[in-house]
Structure 1
Amino acid sequence: MAVSPAVRERSEKRKFMPPCRELCELPAPGALLDGRRAPAVIRRAALLFPLSGAADLARAGPGCKIVNPALSISREWRGLLLSRSYAPSDDLAAYVRRHYVFDARLPDDFVLIDKLMSETAMIRILLEGDWAAETADGQWSTFGRIPLMGPNGIPWRVRVRGPFLVVGVALRPCGWAGLFEDSAREIADGAVPLDRSWGDLGRQLFDDVASAADDAAMVEVIERVLRRRLAALDGPPPSQAMALFEDIARHDSTIQVADAARRVGLSVRQLERHCYATFGHSPKVILRRSRFLDMAQAMRGFGDPSAEQLAALRYFDQSHLNREFRHFFGLTPGQFEKVTTPLFTAGLKLRADGLA
């Protein structure tokens, strides 16, 4: 893939960023990757995270949240992964949860296989690097330079080769129908090129973001295109019921579906239809996924859950907990605690900080 001058310039600037102070240090998990023993090159990785000085914060722009998830992953991954995130403009807050810039300074011959689990659909703009997702056993697909990636009922294996720079737009379920004609169920647990839905506007989005000089310009371009899409589609307004269910699923994952339906003012059948259309999954799957992620966050040490919150997350018994972790991650809870999963753990950190 040809790299635009703007992307090349940003890549060159990153090489000369000053290192930051380490904010925290947690015990390193075992040297495993995706359930397998990591190669020696991964275990030896020890690059420093190079952003958080005043000059770099100014470059990132106002409203930016800078997260170094690698600080809470392991010594081996410290400095390899960087995420900058931005809140959407007020008029787009019902459609966009967050704008992201994911940046990884991996060696050119480096291959990382990990899992991602997104609770919402994502537009990912691949400015630099080689990303692919496993669509079948051993089969990897790229979905073009600007894929629309659906929400995940279970984590999705992804492969990254070399350094990468990805701009992401996390879409809110309550505003889905304003941006897309098809049901979110059509894209759940999968991905398609964005231009399949948006045509020339999707291609223009990639070109304009690739030409942007900095993060602020990229966010401005993205939001301009989103407004054009909303005006062109002229779809329904954001769903207040689904906005409320978003909040319920995130903060009360142990609630019964019938109780959640009553709280949003819908019957159980109506809630199921609305969730399939906007979230891509049933209410039961959404709540089950959220509960698993809540527990995974606690096991990774993110946040400070109270004893009551941890008790609420407990499953019926250990075998139930084992089944859930095997269902979602293919590992027992004990194995999960020992596995190093840089991308998945980065997502958990963003979620724990309220940025995902």
Structure 2
Amino acid sequence: MGVANSGSEFAAASPELRSALGHTRGGEPLSNNRAPADDLAPWVARVYATKVDMDPGGTMHCGLISDTPVMRVLFSGDWTARTRDGFGRYHQAALLFGAHTKRMPVSVSGSFATVGVALKPGAMPALKGPSVEDTLDRIILYDHIYGHEEWGTSRQMIEWFDPGAPPERWLKVAEALVRQLIERSRAKPPLPVIEAFDRAVFADPNLNLAEFAEEHMIDRRRLERQIKRAYGQSATQVLRRARRSILPRTCSAWRMTARPKRRRCGSSIKAT
């Protein structure tokens, strides 16, 4: 919610980590993280690409937390995550990460590259995806949601992206694929009241829901139903998460910038 604002904790750059996209002054490997094309803005919060070389034998341990679903394609690296369904291993796959109710422990071994699309609240139901509530704290193979023999399978997506291409090209391909998804699903933009609620919660996580409903001329119970459908959680839970400052939307990684063995990092972003 709100303007992109990273709250990450990383190790300083070392010979073990070499980002193709450069480093911050503090030595943190950078990702190419930007707003989507204007025509995608109603559904998409951010798009990002990451490409980091790590010395053989290196493993990074991190955590992910995002308040809305993120579509990610993993081009390289051996990934693990502890999800609602248990412990999972992932390699070269297109995946849907559901929103998180708590920090999701993850790790990556070896050099890694990813591209991702962070969705706005309400985008998943608009795109005819699964119930947001059913995806909470889960990682789902893209084939099981939108996969098709002629379009959208995990394997085909990786081929279309061309892992050897520059990261900016990955972002262009990601945007083109989202356009196709919008067209195929005949998706309408998320409800304006959800967008307004999203901004309001970021500005004031202690907002009075009844007053917000009255201001936007909507019945409170109807608003609560729309919030539940958009976020997968009740309005009370969304506000509680905001107050605890664990509402980062675009987990700009599995941009998660790498760390040497046995060192830990946490990555989070708040974005519109």
**TM-score grouping bracket, smaller chain normalisation:** 0.7 to 0.9
- Residue 152 of structure 2 is aligned to residue 202 of structure 1: yes
Shift of residue 226, structure 1, vs aligned partner: 1.2
Shift of residue 157, structure 1, vs aligned partner: 1.0
Q: Please, which runs of 5 or more residues in structure 2 have no aligned partner? A: 1-8, 249-262
Distance 1:206 1:295, change over 3 A: closer
Distance 1:144 1:259, change over 3 A: farther
Shift of residue 277, structure 1, vs aligned partner: 1.5
Superposed CA deviations along residues 130-176 of structure 1, whole A, max 9, x for unmatched, are 11211369833439711100111111111211221111110111333
Which residue of the other structure, out of 336, 340, 343, is the alignment partner of 2:266? Answer: 343
The structure where strand makes up a greater share of residues is 2
- Residue 79 of structure 2 is aligned to residue 111 of structure 1: no
Name the counterpart of 2:104.
156
**Letter aligned with residue 343 of structure 1:** G
- Residue 185 of structure 2 is aligned to residue 233 of structure 1: yes
State whether residues 125 and 146 of structure 1, in contact with CA within 8 Å, keep that contact through their aligned partners in structure 2: yes
Shift of residue 253, structure 1, vs aligned partner: 1.2
Superposed CA deviations along residues 294-319 of structure 1, whole A, max 9, x for unmatched, are 799xxxxxxxxxxxxxxxxxxxxxxx
Which has the higher relative contact order, 1 or 2, with Cα contacts under 8 A spaced 6 or more apart?
2
Stretches (4+) displaced over 6 A: 48-51
Shift of residue 197, structure 1, vs aligned partner: 1.3
Distance 1:157 1:264, change over 3 A: farther
State whether residues 73 and 114 of structure 2, in contact with CA within 8 Å, keep that contact through their aligned partners in structure 1: yes
Q: Which has the larger radius of gyration?
A: 1
> RMSD value over aligned CA atoms?
3.2
Distance 1:208 1:252, change over 3 A: same
Name the counterpart of 1:132.
80
Name the counterpart of 2:260.
none
Distance 1:224 1:138, change over 3 A: closer
Q: Please, which runs of 5 or more residues in structure 1 have no aligned partner? A: 1-28, 34-41, 61-65, 72-77, 297-339
Shift of residue 117, structure 1, vs aligned partner: 0.7
State whether residues 84 and 137 of structure 2, in contact with CA within 8 Å, keep that contact through their aligned partners in structure 1: no
Which residue of the other structure, out of 196, 202, 207, is the alignment partner of 1:244? Answer: 196
State whether residues 88 and 99 of structure 1, in contact with CA within 8 Å, keep that contact through their aligned partners in structure 2: yes
2 CA distance for matches of 1:223 and 1:88? Answer: 7
State whether residues 261 and 268 of structure 1, in contact with CA within 8 Å, keep that contact through their aligned partners in structure 2: yes
1 CA distance for matches of 2:221 and 2:212? Answer: 12
**Letter aligned with residue 221 of structure 1:** V
State whether residues 115 and 156 of structure 1, in contact with CA within 8 Å, keep that contact through their aligned partners in structure 2: yes
Distance 1:152 1:136, change over 3 A: closer
Which residue of the other structure, out of 184, 200, 207, is the alignment partner of 1:255? Answer: 207
- For the residue of structure 1 that corresponds to 2:218, the secondary structure is coil
Q: Percent identity?
A: 26
Name the counterpart of 2:236.
284
Which residue of the other structure, out of 170, 180, 184, is the alignment partner of 2:128? Answer: 180
The structure where helix makes up a greater share of residues is 1
Superposed CA deviations along residues 103-135 of structure 1, whole A, max 9, x for unmatched, are 333332122222211122101110110112113
Shift of residue 202, structure 1, vs aligned partner: 2.6
| TM-score normalised by the chain length of structure 2 | 0.77
Name the counterpart of 1:102.
50
- For the residue of structure 2 that corresponds to 1:147, the secondary structure is strand
State whether residues 150 and 184 of structure 1, in contact with CA within 8 Å, keep that contact through their aligned partners in structure 2: yes
Which residue of the other structure, out of 138, 141, 166, is the alignment partner of 2:114? Answer: 166
